[in-house]
């Protein structure tokens, strides 16, 4: 079983749509959670951290369910510029894990006019 699993998609949605991505992680000791986005042939960029209480940043809402080991990202009012690969990322707690980011495969989103 992969440490971080995502539905690879692709998701093709029209502008203005709401789209949700899901992610599960296998290690219950995972400590920190993030969503990154990666544009084609570019580096990953942090979209938002994910907190236990859930958090929102403009059109983006992230949720964490530790009991189910499940993370989600909701994008409202999709824009053409949201087209990218969305990466679910976790960090294990302590020990030698330090800042080692563990990435999911990524979910491809295409927003069309």
Which stretches does DSSP call E strand in the chain? 4-6, 11-14, 19-25, 30-38, 44-50, 55-57, 60-65, 70-75, 84-92, 101-103, 107-112
Binding to other proteins (CB under 8 A): which residues in 74-103?
87, 91-94, 96-103
CB of 15 to other proteins, least distance (A): 28
Is there binding between residue 53 and other proteins (CB under 8 A)?
A: no
From 17-25, 55-63, 74-82, 104-112, span contacting other proteins (CB under 8 A):
104-112
Is there binding between residue 44 and other proteins (CB under 8 A)?
A: yes
Closest of 32, 50, 2 to residue 101, by C-alpha? 32
Residue placing its CB nearer to other proteins in the complex, 43 or 113: 43
């Amino acid at each position: 079983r992969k440490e971080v699993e995502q539905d690879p998609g692709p998701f093709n949605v029209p502008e203005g749509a709401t789209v949700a991505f899901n992610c599960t992680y296998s290690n219950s000791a995972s400590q920190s959670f993030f969503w990154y986005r990666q544009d084609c042939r570019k580096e990953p960029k942090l979209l938002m951290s994910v907190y236990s209480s859930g958090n929102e940043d403009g059109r983006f809402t992230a949720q964490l369910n530790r009991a189910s080991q499940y993370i989600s990202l909701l994008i409202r009012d999709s824009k053409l510029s949201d087209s990218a690969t969305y990466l679910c990322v976790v960090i294990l707690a302590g020990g030698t894990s330090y800042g080692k980011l563990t990435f999911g495969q990524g979910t491809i989103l295409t927003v069309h006019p």
